[in-house]
Structure 1
Amino acid sequence: MTAQGSDVVLERMMSLHPKIIDLTLDRVWRLLDALDHPEKRLPPVIHIAGTNGKGSTQAMIRAGLEAGGAKVHAYTSPHLVRFHERIRLAGDLISEKALTAILDECYETNGPDAITYFEITTCAALLAFARTPADYTLLEVGLGGRLDATNVIETPRLTVITPISLDHESYLGDTLAKIATEKAGILKRGVPCVVGPQPDEAMDVIEARAAALGVPLHAYGQQWHVTREHGRLAFQDETGLLDLPPPVLPGVHQTENAGAALMALRLLGQAEPACEAALTRADWPARMQRLRGGALNALAPQAEIWLDGGHNPAAGKALATTLSELPERPTHLICGMLNTKDVSGYLRPLAGQAQSLTAISIPGEAATLSAEETASAANGAGFQDVTTAPDLAAAVSALHRVDPDARILICGSLYLAGHALRQQG
C-alpha cells in the first residue's frame, strides 16, 4: 500500500471526536476492552512522563537497550514528518502496510463512538506492540500522565519522570504542583521510578505520591548524580561510578536527560557498554539538530543551519544555554509558534543569544500565531532586530543575503520542525 492508505484512515479518525484533547481514560478502556486488552500482553514497559526531555531520554534508553541486543518497541508523539515515526516495532519504524491494517482494525472496532485521535492511535500502537515479539516497550506520555491514553499499564517495569515545568496549563493546571500531580499519575504501586531534576514544588508532589504507593524513587541529586567534567560525563549512583563519553545529542540539558536514561538502564540490569551506547548512539531529530546537504542548506550554502522543536520557557532557557556554548558566530533565529504556548516566556531567554529574529507562521497549523503576532512577542521579549517573512524558504534566503556566514536556528515548535524537515527533503 502507499502512504495514502494510512493517511486516509488517520483522516477518518480525526472526525471521531470534536476536540483534539479531552483528558479521560473512559474511551480508551472501552476500545481496549473491545480489542481484547492488548495493554495486558506487552513486553515489560518503561513509561516516561515529564514536560521536557521525554523523547531524548527515551531515545537514549532505547539506544542502550538495543546495543545489548534487545528488541525494543517505542511509542512517541508527535511525529515530525510521517505518522510512522510514532511507532517502532522491535526496533524498526512500523511499515505502511502494517500501520494501515492496524489503524483500520481499530477504526472498525471502535465504530462511530467518540474517541480522540490520540486515544485511538495509542490503542493501535498498543495492539501492534502486543502482536510483535520484543524484549521491552518504551511508552512516552502524550500529555500529562494521570489521564493520558498511555496510562493503562497496570504494572510497568519502570517509570521515569523527566523535568517538570509550566506547559499546557489549560489542561494540566496553572502551578507546578498541579502539573506534577498529573505527571505523577503514572506512578504505580511498588514500581521503581527514576526522577530527573525537579523544582522543589514538583518534587514534593512526586515524593508524596511515591510514599503513598510504596514507590522506590531514584531521584537526581539523591540516589544518582551526573556531571560533565573535562569533556566526559560522570554518572554516580548507589552501585558505583561510570566515566563515559558525553551525549551525542547536543545541549547541556542532555546531561541530565542522559543521567535519567543511565539510571533507568542500571535498574534494568544493563552493564557499562549499554550505558555508553545510550550516550553515543542515540538519535532524536529536531532537538538541536544540525541540518546538512538538503534544500534549506542550498538556500544558504555558507551558513550553519540548526533545528530545534522546543516550545516552552524551560526549553527556551535550555536552548539559550546551548547557544551560549557553541563557537562564536552571528546567530539568527527563524521562529514560528502556536497560540497555545507562552511565547514571551520561551523567547525571553533567547533575546541575548541572537542578532535577529525572523517570524513566520507555521504552514497547515490552525493554531499557529501569525508572523506578525510572533514578531510582536519577540519585540516585547527584548529582541532588537525583528522582521517577518512569508515562509521558511524566504526567511532563510533573506538571512543568507544579509549575513551569508551566519548560524541560522529554526525554532519555536515541533510542528515547524516537521515542516522544515519535509522541506529539507
Structure 2
Amino acid sequence: MSTRSYKDAVEHLNSLQSNAATLDAARAANTRMTSTGILDTLEYLERIGYKPEDLNAMNVIHITGTKGKGSTSAFTDSILRRTKPDWKIGLYTSPHLVAVRERIRINGQPLSEEDFAKYFFEVWDRLQANTARKREDTPLMPAYFRFITLVAFHVFLEMKVDATVLEVGVGGTYDCTNIVPTPVVTGVTALGIDHVNVLGKTLKEIAWQKGGIYKSGVPALTVPQPEEGMVVLRERAEELKASEFIITPPVPGFPDLKLGLAGAHQYQNATIAAHLARTFLRVRDSYSDENPLPAPFVEGLKNAKWPGRCQMVPDPVHLRTTWFLDGAHTVESLDCCIDWFVSPGQALPMDTTSTSSKPRVLIFNCTSGRSGPSFLGGINQKIISQLEAYKSSEDVTTFFDEVVFCANVTYADGAFKGDLTAVSIPEADLAELKTQHQLADAWSKIHPTFPKDKLHVLPSIEHAVRIVHKLGEGERPVDVLVTGSLHLVGGVIEVAGLSKVAL
C-alpha cells in the first residue's frame, strides 16, 4: 500500500472523469444534477466511515456565487491565518492550475504529494472495500469532483482543522459540498448574468441554487445583488431558517487598501470575505474587535494570493517576457480581466498618450467555440472603452501583435500533464481544432485587416509558448495575456516554467 505514489493517485482520479459523450448525454437529460447527487454523496460519505454530522467538526465557512467565490475564499483563508496564527486552517477550492493537490490546502500550503497519495488511497480503498449501496442507481465510485471532495473532508477531519473555507463547485443547492449540516457561516458572492445568457437560466433560478447553501441557525451573507436575485436569496434564507440575513455593507478603509489580488472587482470579494471572517470568529471564538478593519484583517487582505487571476508574472528565464494570467471564462469576468490588463502600468504605458513599444500577445481558449464570438466581441469592446477612458492613441485593431488560439493539450506531442488530463474534450474537436478555428474566424470577423500570419491556431499550449519565446528573443520586451480558461492558464504555468514564481 505504501508504495502507491502521487502519480498513481492522479491516474486513479483521472479514471473517474466523465468523457465528452457522457457529459453531453447528462446535460441533455438533465440527470444527476438534482438531489440525487446529494444522496449519492451521502452514501459515499457513509461508505468511507463518516456521518454527515461528523462534518460539522470541520467548522465550515461555505462560499458560493457566480463570480468571485474563489477569490473570496482566498481572502477569507488569508484573514483567518493572520488573525489566528496558532490555528490550523483548511481551504478547499477548484479547479486546480497545475497540480490537483492545490485544491486541498492546510495553512495556505497544498498537501504534499506524499500526504495527498496517503489520504487519497485511504478513501479509495474504503470505497473499494465497502460496495454496499442503499440505492441501486448510485454509481459504485464517485465522479471526479465528488471523490476529491470526499478526500478533502477526510483530510480536514483527520488533521483536526480549526476552520475550513469550503468553496462550492457548481451551483449550491445540489453541489456535493452542500452536505455539511451546520456550517458556521455561509456567503454568496456576485450573481452574474452570464449563466442567464449561456445556460438559459433566469436570475431567480440562479439565486435559488446559490441560496441553497444557507442553513438553519446559520448566518447567511451576500454581497449586494440585482433586486430580482436579492429577493430570492432573502426568501431562501427565510425558508431555510438562517439565523440572520446580511447584505454586506462597505468596510471603512477599503478604498485606501492595496489588496493582494489585482483588479477593482476584488474589493467586493474582499468586503464579503472580511464579513465572513468576522462572523466566523465571533461565533467560534467570541471575537469582539470593534475596529472595522483590524490589523490582522489588513495583513490578510494585502497578502492574499490566488494564482491565475489577474496575476502579472515576470518570466524567470526569458527576462524580456511578462505573463499576464487570468483564467476568466465568462463575459463578465473577461470584462474585469481587460479592465485590469488594459490600464496604465499593465499593458498600457504610464503615459497613455504614447504608443507602447512592447509587442503584445493574446493566448486564448474557451470550452466551446459557440461562445467565442461573444467572448471575443466583449474583449474587443472593452479594449476600445479602456483606450478611450485613458485617452490612449492606440488602435484596437493593432493592440495585439500576435493572437494565438490553442487547445488545452499540455505538450506538443499531444500528451497532457497527468494533473491536467481532460477527457471531457471531444476527440473530434481536438483532432480538427474545431473550437480554435471558430475562435480564429470570430477574430477575423471582428478585425478583418488583422494579418493572417499573426493569427495562429495551434494544437497545444507548448506550441503557443514557443511562439512567445521566439518573440521574446528580440530586442523589445513582450507582454502576454493568457485568458479564457483556467486550464489554459495552468498549462501555460506548467509549460513556461512559471510554477515557482506564479504559484
TM-score tier (shorter): 0.7 to 0.9
In structure 2, the residue matched to 1:120 is: 147
Describe the SS at the equivalent of 1:208: helix
Contact 1:315 1:346 in 2 (8 A): no
Residues of 2 paired with 1:402 and 1:336: CA distance? 26
Residues 84-107 of structure 1: per-residue CA shift (max 9 Å, x gap): 101113543222222223222322
Distance 1:260 1:121 in 2: 27
Q: Is the 8 A contact 1:39 1:130 kept in 2?
A: no
- Distance (Å, rounded) in 1 between the aligned partners of 2:121 and 2:19: 13
Give the counterpart letter for 2:362 in structure 1.
Answer: L
Q: Give the TM-score, by structure 2 length.
A: 0.73
Aligned partners of 2:404 and 2:464 also within 8 Å? no
C-alpha distance in 1, partners of 2:58/2:448?
49
- TM (normalized to structure 1)? 0.86
Aligned to 1:26: 39
Aligned partner of 2:117 in structure 1 is 100
- 1:323 paired to 2:326: no
CA contact (8 A) 2:172 2:178 kept: yes
- Report what 2:17 is aligned to: 14
Q: Identity percentage over the alignment?
A: 27
**CA distance in structure 2 between the partners assigned to 1:106 and 1:16 by the alignment:** 23
2:185, 2:219 within 8 Å by CA — same for their partners in 1?
yes
Q: Secondary structure of 1:358's partner? A: strand
| 2:136 alignment partner in structure 1 | none
C-alpha deviation, 1:124, in angstroms: 1.4
Of residues 176, 180, 184 in structure 1, which corresponds to 2:203?
Answer: 176
CA distance in 2, matches of 1:107, 1:125: 13
Q: Which amino acid aligns with 2:297?
A: C
The partner residue of 2:368 within 317, 334, 339 is: 339
Between the aligned partners of 1:396 and 1:349, the Cα distance in structure 2 is 24
The structure-2 alpha-carbon separation of the partners of 1:195 and 1:343, relative to structure 1 and needing over 3 Å to count, comes to farther
Counterpart secondary structure, 2:480: strand
Label 1:359 to 1:14 Cα distance change in 2 as closer, same or farther (>3 A). Answer: closer
**Secondary structure class of the residue paired with 1:81:** coil
* C-alpha distance in structure 2 between counterparts of 1:340 and 1:140, whole Å: 28
Structure-1 separation of matches of 2:477 and 2:69? 34
Say whether 1:54 aligns with 2:69: yes
State the shift of 1:63 in Å. 0.8
Q: Distance in 2 between matches of 1:371 and 1:18?
A: 20
Q: Distance in 2 between matches of 1:17 and 1:288?
A: 30
Correspondence for 1:289 among 285, 297, 311: 311
The answer as to whether partners of 1:75 and 1:86 remain within 8 angstroms in 2 is yes
* Cα distance change, pair 85–340 in 1 and its aligned pair in 2 (3 A): farther
Distance 1:373-1:172 versus aligned 2 partners, 3 A rule: closer
1:320–1:349 Cα contact (<8 Å) kept: no
How is 1:175-194 mapped onto 2 (pairs within 5 angstroms)? 175-194=202-221
Corresponding letter in the other structure for 2:440 = A
Find the counterpart in structure 1 of residue 389 from structure 2: none
CA pair 171-305 structure 1, distance change in 2 beyond 3 A: closer
Alpha-carbon distance in 1 for matches of 2:237, 2:444: 43
CA distance in 2, matches of 1:380, 1:408: 22
Q: Which runs of 5+ in 2 are unaligned?
A: 27-31, 132-139, 282-286, 350-355, 384-395, 410-415, 417-421, 498-503
Equivalent residue number for residue 240 of structure 1: none
Give the aligned CA root-mean-square deviation in angstroms: 2.9
Cα deviation code 1:189-210 (max 9, x no counterpart): 2311221242222222111211
Task: Please say which structure displays the higher CA radius of gyration.
Answer: 2
Give the 5 Å matches for 1:259-270: 259-269=271-281
Give the 3-state SS of the residue equivalent to 1:115 in structure 2: coil
Whether contact under 8 Å (2:204, 2:228) holds in the other structure is: yes
Work out which of the residue numbers 437, 461, 465 in structure 2 matches 1:372.
437
Give the drift of 1:345.
3.2
Is 1:225 equivalent to 2:247 in the alignment? no
Q: What's 1:109 paired with? A: 126
The amino acid of 1:418's aligned partner reads: G
Q: Aligned with 1:256: secondary structure?
A: helix
Once residues 194 and 117 of structure 2 are traced to their aligned partners in structure 1, the CA distance between those partners, rounded to angstroms, is 33
- Quickly say closer, same or farther: Cα 1:214–1:79, change in 2 above 3 A: same
1:82-101 to structure 2, matched below 5 A, reads 82-101=99-118
3-state secondary structure, aligned to 2:178: coil
Unpaired runs of 5+ in structure 1? Answer: 235-243
Note the C-alpha offset of 1:125: 1.0
Kindly indicate which of the two structures has a greater share of residues assigned to strand: 1
Q: 1:170 to 1:32 in 2, by over 3 A?
A: farther
Q: Give the Cα–Cα distance (whole angstroms) in 1 for the partners of residues 441 and 197 of structure 2.
A: 23
Q: 1:149 aligned to 2:176?
A: yes
Question: Where does residue 279 of structure 1 map in the other structure?
Answer: 301
SS in 1 for 2:17: helix
The structure-2 alpha-carbon separation of the partners of 1:405 and 1:96, relative to structure 1 and needing over 3 Å to count, comes to closer
The Cα of 1:18 is off from its aligned counterpart by 8.2
Per the TM alignment, residue 408 of structure 1 is displaced from its structure 2 partner at its CA by 1.8
